[in-house]
Amino acid sequence: MVRCKMVLSEIQDAGGTTKRFVFRTQYDTAIPEDQRFFKYTPDGTISLLVDNPAVLAQWQVGKHYYFDAHEVPSVPAG
C-alpha cells in the first residue's frame, strides 16, 4: 500500500452538479508526519471529477486527506 497526504486546494464547477476536486501535496516542515511524507512524495496532484452529493458535502478546501493506493487483484476475463 502507498499512502499520500494531500490538501484539497480547489473545487471547480464542471457543469451541472459535477465538481472537479484538485488535491495537492502541501507539507508543514514543523510537523514530523509531514516531514516523512515530503521525503517520499515531495510533489504531486490528484484531480477527481465527482458527481456524488455525499462527497460534495464532505470534502472542504484547505483540509488534508489521506489517499491510499492498493493494487486491485486481476479478475479473469469472461
String of DSSP letters for 8-62:
EEEEEE-STT-EEEEEE----TTSHHHHHHHHH-SS-EEEEEE--HHHHHH--TT
In a domain, 17, yes or no: yes
Residue 20 has pLDDT above 90, yes or no: yes
* pLDDT for residue 61: 96
Structurally, the chain folds into a number of domains equal to: 1
pLDDT digits (tens, 9 = 90+) for 65-75: 999 999 989 88
Q: Is 76 inside a domain boundary?
A: no
Mean residue pLDDT of the chain comes to 89
53 - beta bridge partners? none
8 Å CB contact between 3 and 66? yes
Model confidence over 28-65: pLDDT tens digits? 888 888 888 787 777 889 999 999 988 888 999 999 99
In a domain, 78, yes or no: no
77 assigned to some structural domain:
no
Domain that holds residue 44: 2-69
Residue linked to cell 507539507: 27
Is 56 a domain residue? yes
The answer to whether 27 and 38 have CB atoms below 8 angstroms apart is yes
